[in-house]
Structure 1
Amino acid sequence: MTTQDQMPKLLGDLIARNSTKLTEADTRLLDVLIRDPIRAAMENGKDVSSRAGVHPASAVRLARRLGFKGYPEFRGFLQSNLMEGGGDFENPAARMAARLVRAEEGSLLASVLDSEIAALQQVRNAVSDAEIRVFSEALRDCRRVLIFGRGHSAALSSLISLRLNRSGYEAIDLGNQMHQLPELLATLRQDDIVWLLAFRRVSPLVQEIRKVAAEKQAKVLALTDLRSARIDPAPQHKISVSRGGAGESQSLVVPMTIANAIILDLAAIDDGRSLRSLGAFKAFRGESGLSPVLL
């Protein structure tokens, strides 16, 4: 039997290696697996055979022809491929299914918590206080902060903007001002900051905003995960950190924690500006007749 170390990493490669051994029943099974590899990684051999319209033992025979001891071992191969982010499963649904696979034998909540805790623990060694200080000093000394993120990072962009404004800094969440994006970028100055957020991949719009910032000579900060593609031109300052391994929850808590640390450090170095602004905001909220829901 082929050892696991010699096994191809992807299902497509495994099929190609054993194509001369495959029967008509095998082909029908593989068609079912390839059309829905996420479901295939979750089902047993009997269920897969039923969907393919072949004998219940056909899935076991296929697994053995592909070099596995039985279908459970083949299913383990599919699950590993799912969790390691192989090309067969590179889509959002696959990533969610991978997390379900990891939690299959235990509590789903416990699995998510373990993933988040592990991701947060590695931040301690991955990001230094000096890197946090570089960001906070840039924010302290700027005229205005323009923050931009797409997808999941849009939620963090909104939170950063809210916290900076309450701390007395003019901050604009560009994602909430898309209808005025050209006008806002046209007014960029050398003493402005553009803070970019990019997780998993860098959207074309992030690249375009970076290009405009370079033309306007505005300083650019970037908070990204390790899988994010390169931003070009490179930001003046960048923090990149893992949000979790393959098959694990891709934590939003990690970048949010880093952003919170930056804003907290900003309050420590801006001669009371943040604290005074927060105090004034609290007083205004208490004295105004505006609905607390709106504040």
Structure 2
Amino acid sequence: MRFSALIERHQDLLTAADQRIVRELLANPTEAAFLSAASLAQRADVHPATAVRLAQKLGFGGYRELKAELQAEVINTTHPAERVRHRLAHVEQGSILADIIESDLAALRRIAEQVTEAEIDAAAKTLLAAGQVFLFAQGNATTLIEMMDRRLRRADFSTTVLRQQGRELAEHILALESGDVVLAFAFHSVPTGLTPLLQHAARIGATSILITDILGPLVKPRPQMTIAASRGLAEEYLTLTVPMAICNALILTIARLDQGRSLKALGRLAKLTRNIADVR
């Protein structure tokens, strides 16, 4: 349900302080959706707890869930063409390449503020313990699972790529078992197939890891692990630089923790590649 409809439904519960928060959110939804509870309250000139109480009155567990809902609404109501136009308008006569580099570098620097080394280590250890890794994504994010599929196979992992929908997706996850891991990627909105995949994984005892930007609180059922980092301003054209950096951190952390398994596998791959070349 859209934020404006939620406000209308719960109008009778809102205090004057709540209304001031609401006005801030409606006046500039794109910017306000990314403010912390404290920053939003400061703009509305109310107590910081007001934002939390408002979120709870609207049916959310806290401000974090409301914020994620607002961010997803901003993204879902912004057409891809509008995001491209916004980026072009921002660059004007400058260098598009320089602008992308600058914005991606800023987003990369913020990763350390949003993702901890402990989260990367925990995800890497979970992948190392997996019987098989099932990689799920749709849309542009399939680029990430193609990269992770190749790198995990080179590190001696058994992988299955899931980019299908409907019956085809169901056929591919028949092999998912307890002890396996689902590594999923989701941006902008919850992709078709992710919810039933997570439900199936939970039923059979498989572990799920989600790499995302702002969707974490909106994904149901909750994955056992979520690694979330902003890719930049929601209304702009965004790249996959940030999640790709997280993937690279996972692969290198696995290599650091696996007691030589990755390096040995790469050695076998190099030898096999030479043997195949010699046959020619």
**TM-score, normalization: structure 2?**
0.69
In 2, Cα distance between equivalents of 1:178 and 1:283: 40
> 1:110 is matched with which residue: 84, 98, 102?
98
Give the superposition deviation at 1:87: 8.8
Three-state SS of the structure 2 residue aligned to 1:204 is coil
Report the residue type matching 2:82 in the other structure.
A
In 1, Cα distance between equivalents of 2:230 and 2:278: 41
Question: In the alignment, what sits opposite 2:135?
Answer: 147
Which structure has the bigger radius of gyration? 1
> 2:144 is matched with which residue: 150, 156, 163?
156
> 2:241 is matched with which residue: 253, 260, 278?
253
Is the 8 Å Cα contact of residues 200 and 229 (structure 1) preserved in structure 2? Answer: no
In 2, Cα distance between equivalents of 1:187 and 1:286: 33
Matched, 1:201 2:189: yes
Question: In the alignment, what sits opposite 2:163?
Answer: 175
Higher relative contact order (CA 8 A, sep 6+): 2
Give the superposition deviation at 1:285: 1.1
Question: In the alignment, what sits opposite 1:92?
Answer: 80
Matched, 1:267 2:243: no
Three-state SS of the structure 1 residue aligned to 2:210 is strand
Give the superposition deviation at 1:289: 3.6
Report the residue type matching 1:158 in the other structure.
E
In 2, Cα distance between equivalents of 1:228 and 1:138: 19
Is the 8 Å Cα contact of residues 135 and 162 (structure 2) preserved in structure 1? Answer: yes
Unaligned runs of 5+ in 1: 11-84
Matched, 1:288 2:276: yes
Three-state SS of the structure 1 residue aligned to 2:202 is helix
In 2, Cα distance between equivalents of 1:185 and 1:174: 8
> Residues 287 and 202 from structure 1, CA distance in 2 versus in 1: closer, same or farther, beyond 3 angstroms?
same
Is the 8 Å Cα contact of residues 195 and 222 (structure 1) preserved in structure 2? Answer: yes
> Residues 91 and 135 from structure 1, CA distance in 2 versus in 1: closer, same or farther, beyond 3 angstroms?
same
Give the superposition deviation at 1:124: 2.0
Q: Percentage identity across aligned positions? A: 31
> Residues 290 and 214 from structure 1, CA distance in 2 versus in 1: closer, same or farther, beyond 3 angstroms?
farther
> 1:126 is matched with which residue: 97, 114, 123?
114
> Residues 290 and 120 from structure 1, CA distance in 2 versus in 1: closer, same or farther, beyond 3 angstroms?
farther
Question: In the alignment, what sits opposite 1:219?
Answer: 207
Question: In the alignment, what sits opposite 2:175?
Answer: 187
Report the residue type matching 2:254 in the other structure.
L
> Residues 92 and 249 from structure 1, CA distance in 2 versus in 1: closer, same or farther, beyond 3 angstroms?
closer
> Residues 211 and 253 from structure 1, CA distance in 2 versus in 1: closer, same or farther, beyond 3 angstroms?
same
> 2:223 is matched with which residue: 229, 235, 240?
235
**TM-score, normalization: structure 1?**
0.66
Segment drifting more, 181-190 vs 91-100:
181-190
In 2, Cα distance between equivalents of 1:291 and 1:117: 45
Is the 8 Å Cα contact of residues 165 and 192 (structure 2) preserved in structure 1? Answer: no
Deviations 1:237-286 (A, max 9, x none): 11011011134441201001101101110011111111100111111112
Matched, 1:136 2:121: no
Three-state SS of the structure 1 residue aligned to 2:234 is coil
Give the superposition deviation at 1:89: 6.4
> Residues 109 and 168 from structure 1, CA distance in 2 versus in 1: closer, same or farther, beyond 3 angstroms?
same
Is the 8 Å Cα contact of residues 80 and 237 (structure 2) preserved in structure 1? Answer: no
> Residues 291 and 247 from structure 1, CA distance in 2 versus in 1: closer, same or farther, beyond 3 angstroms?
farther
Unaligned runs of 5+ in 2: 1-23, 30-72
In 1, Cα distance between equivalents of 2:262 and 2:166: 28
Is the 8 Å Cα contact of residues 112 and 249 (structure 1) preserved in structure 2? Answer: no
